[in-house]
Amino acid sequence: MKHKCVTSYLVVLLITALAPMAGAQRSHTRDLLRYENGGTFDFNWDVAPKHEEMRRKLREFVWERWSQKRQAFVVATFYSYHGDYTKHRLFVEPDREGRWSVVSEYETECCVLKRKIERRKGKEIYHVVERLEEMGNGMASTQVIPDRENREGNMYRLRLRRSPTENSGKDPFLL
């Protein structure tokens, strides 16, 4: 009888200890059924002639959801000339304080040519999304386009920053 009481006590103790962790995990889980799905953009070199059109669609998708404050996600994979890749899962969503953000959960594989594959995963949260004037050849100026002005996605670049005063030395994310 004493053994059953101790076992029951340990089970209750274990459940009590694990319950907050389970709740914390649930709060980080997204219900993707509530998000608009922007699909997948794979910028591999086999489809290089389509890259500009794909970039235009990707920019327009992210900008429209951001500016209209609509939950959405899209996956974009970019490749280096040598075949290294970075896959971004981009989520347009409010954070815990209700501020809208673009979250990039990424994974990257590097150094294919060196035959030393390095994989990394990470997460960046951007609270500022700006459209910048397109200068040509895929280059962006520093001139911000007003939010109310309508533009096609090939007429601007998106700059994602962590904060309006970001000067962390880390480059902003450009789409």
Mean pLDDT for the chain overall: 80
Q: Please state the rounded mean pLDDT for residues 120-133.
A: 92
Its domain, for residue 77, covers 32-174
pLDDT at position 110 over 70: yes
pLDDT > 90 fraction of the chain, expressed in percent and rounded: 49
- Asked if residue 128 and residue 101 are part of one domain, the reply reads yes
- Asked if residue 76 and residue 64 are part of one domain, the reply reads yes
Backbone angles phi, psi at 164, to 5 degrees: -60, -25
- Asked if residue 88 and residue 10 are part of one domain, the reply reads no
In this predicted structure, what is the pLDDT of residue 103?
A: 96
- Asked if residue 37 and residue 14 are part of one domain, the reply reads no
- Asked if residue 42 and residue 23 are part of one domain, the reply reads no
CA dist list (Å): 135 to 11, 138, 139, 156, 168: 64, 7, 5, 8, 25
Per-residue pLDDT reduced to its tens digit, 140-169:
778 888 888 888 888 888 989 888 776 555
- Asked if residue 37 and residue 117 are part of one domain, the reply reads yes
In this predicted structure, what is the pLDDT of residue 138?
A: 64
The whole model's pTM is what?
Answer: 0.77
- Asked if residue 24 and residue 83 are part of one domain, the reply reads no
For tokens 């951001």, the residue is 66
CB 131 within 8 A of CB 148: no
In this predicted structure, what is the pLDDT of residue 127?
A: 93
* Three-state SS at 18: helix
Helices (H), the chain: 2-28, 51-67
Confidence of residue 25 (pLDDT cuts 50, 70, 90): very low
- Asked if residue 46 and residue 115 are part of one domain, the reply reads yes
In this predicted structure, what is the pLDDT of residue 156?
A: 87
In this predicted structure, what is the pLDDT of residue 175?
A: 85
Q: Please state the rounded mean pLDDT for residues 108-136.
A: 86
Tally of domains in the chain:
2
For 154, the token pair is 């090939």
- Least confident interval from 35-39, 131-135, 165-169: 165-169
In this predicted structure, what is the pLDDT of residue 97?
A: 92
pLDDT at position 173 over 90: no
- Asked if residue 41 and residue 17 are part of one domain, the reply reads no
pLDDT at position 20 over 80: no
Sheet bearing 118-126, strands edge to edge: 36-43, 72-79, 85-94, 100-110, 118-126
- Asked if residue 85 and residue 19 are part of one domain, the reply reads no
Pairwise CA distance, residues 42 & 118, whole Å: 20
- Asked if residue 62 and residue 19 are part of one domain, the reply reads no
- Asked if residue 55 and residue 121 are part of one domain, the reply reads yes
